[in-house]
Amino acid sequence: MRANLVRAAPTTLFSSASSIRVPRACIVSKWLQSHGYATLETAKPQTVPLRKRLKDEAKRKKAEARTNSPKTAKSKETQPEQWELTVGIEIHAELNTACKLFSSAPAAAADSNALPNTNVAPFDAALPGTQPQFQIATLLPALRAAIALGCEVQRKSGWDRKHYFHWDQPNGYQITQYYQPFAEDGSLRLTAEDGVPKDDLNGAEEIAIGIKQIQMEQDTAKTTHHPPSTYHVDLNRAGHPLIEIITLPQIHSPQTAAALARKIQGILKSVDACVTGMELGGLRADVNVSVHKRGTSGSSHYGGVSGLGQRTEIKNLSSFAAIENAIVAEQNRQISVLEAGGVIEGETRGFTLGATETTRLRGKEGEVDYRYMPDADLPPLIIGSDLVAHLKDTLPELPDETVARLQKEYGLSSKDARTLASLDDGDRLEYMEETVKLLSSRLGPDEQKKAKLGKAVGNWVLHELGGMFTTSEMWQRCPITEVELADLIANVLQKQITSRTAKQLLVSLYDLPADGKRPTIEQLIEDGNLRLRPLSDEQYVELAEQIMDENRDLVETAKGRWQKGKMMWFVGQMVRRSEDGTVEPEKAKEVVRKLLEEA
């Protein structure tokens, strides 16, 4: 303990900054008092219990997290009038192939339940003397992807070695197509319905994001961490064929970046180039983020786009939410650094979903660090124009084309069409179209009627039948066949049963076992005496007038302000007070509307 020393006389003996060794306080006090000096003890620092310090620190971190959270990013998205965000994305997609890129070993996606290190060829393990042998079949899904993304397929492309040492890369290098990719100069168009914010559209209906190139390359082995210091390496994934889709830095919001990744995933699935999405690890994304002040030009350039700020790369993002949140966090960090007078370093950073900021992983590598060089063991890849033409002619329907067709042929809304096109890998859409086909054959193949039938079936498949499933996997075990749903809807459209009765039948049929004793829709209607026995026009009017006379206050309210909800209340009362199968809601609605107009 150090004391401020004051002598009774005006002369000071020691200064408080004395470097002399300080004895224990009690001895100092006694010695000074015996020599005529007084001591003025300094205030003792307040001792804070450890538990309280931990609690205070936890509170501080929570408050800081709330401030930096992506949820509150709009307030901290850092003065958009002053700063411009620029993002480029690199998406790595696992191709749907039976074998690996340079060996005949089974691809990991084809045998995901295989034991570790069982689907491994000698080249995958980098055994001495082994050489790569390009598997031609892996090229087909890659070409379908490139064509679907609007890229120009190059007649000649080459293979490069990207050198770096890590235990998940047995050769010490990755074979890729850095200098001569097989596809270049693509483009994707995004609209507000894809998730692009209005500010990015700037009054236009769509924006175009350029694709610089698509290259084929090897995947790495899978590493599993077993704390504290054990890592297991599984070579089953080593050598699995990937395509890397590299966009131009033309994205200016986190939402657009996530929308682009989502659209690319849908396109790859639709052409069978990639069978699993981000949620199952089939796609991974790296994002390059930079900011610069509006009205000024940055010193960096990339992909022919100049005037950019210094970029950082965030690696291995495995969900759309992670893409969006990581960009927000990195944007906020960069602007904070620049506003404080700092400089952004080119580096590779990481992000964990749920975190509020990115973390530095390492300095950013460049071409020199990777020592790119042509692979001497692989000849150039030559792709014939006849193969490309054949694949273009046989390319499956793309998601945007499917949505447009559903709207045109079946009269579906854009939202319902997009939902149907994206659910259950197309199985639900096939179910809906087969049901429409059966219904059309029963009611007549009229084109105008087809749109009406398509809208009705789409509503039942999405909302009534879809509402019974809690998970998407349950659709695979859907007990209602297309024939049963078509029969049910036909009875509704032909006014044999009411919509309410049909919904009750659907629930009953859903719970019945799918065996030979399962009754048909017609049997259920007859056995339950559910067939519609409509009231006469006079009976409709009489029932509606009776309910209105009992509720004059509601009549005056509905008539005065013309409230649709009040009108539908009268319709509901008519249905409840009548026997099942006697009141048709649409007819009751017409009667109530007419009586209210005359009241």
**CA 579 – CA 528 distance, rounded (Å):** 13
Residue entry with tokens 């006694």: 30
**What does the pLDDT read at residue 28?**
38
The pLDDT value recorded for residue 264 is 95
Question: Is 543 or 52 the better-scoring residue by pLDDT?
Answer: 543
Query: What's the whole-model pTM score?
Result: 0.75
pLDDT beyond 70 at 507 = yes
β-pairing verdict for 312-317 and 347-350: parallel
Residue 386 has pLDDT above 90, yes or no: yes
Per-residue pLDDT tens over the stretch 82-108? 899 999 999 999 999 999 999 999 986
**What is the rounded CA–CA span in Å between residue 137 and residue 123?**
18
On the question of pLDDT at 352 being above 60, the answer is: yes
For 268-298, how does the pLDDT look when each residue is reduced to its tens digit (9 = 90+)?
999 999 878 787 778 999 999 999 998 887 7
* CB of 581 closer than 8 Å to CB of 532: yes
Q: What is the pLDDT of residue 173?
A: 94
Q: Is the peptide bond before 128 cis (omega within 30 degrees of 0)?
A: no
Q: Between the CA of residue 570 and those of 416, 577, 599, what are the distances in Å?
A: 30, 11, 14
Q: What is the DSSP string of 265-292?
A: HHHHHHTTS-SS-GGGTSEEEEEEEEEE
- Give the pLDDT band of residue 60 (cuts 50, 70, 90): low
Give 532's Cβ-side CA count (13 Å radius).
Answer: 20
Question: For the range 495-502, what are the long-range contacts, defined as Cβ-Cβ under 8 Å and sequence gap of 24 or more?
Answer: 495/532, 495/534, 495/584, 496/525, 496/531, 496/532, 497/525, 497/530, 497/531, 497/532, 497/581, 498/532, 498/580, 498/581, 498/583, 498/584, 498/585, 499/585, 500/575, 500/585, 501/530, 501/532, 501/580, 501/581
Q: Which residues contact 431 (CB under 8 A, 6 or more apart)?
A: 461, 478, 482
Could you count the other beta carbons within 10 Å of the beta carbon of residue 327? 29
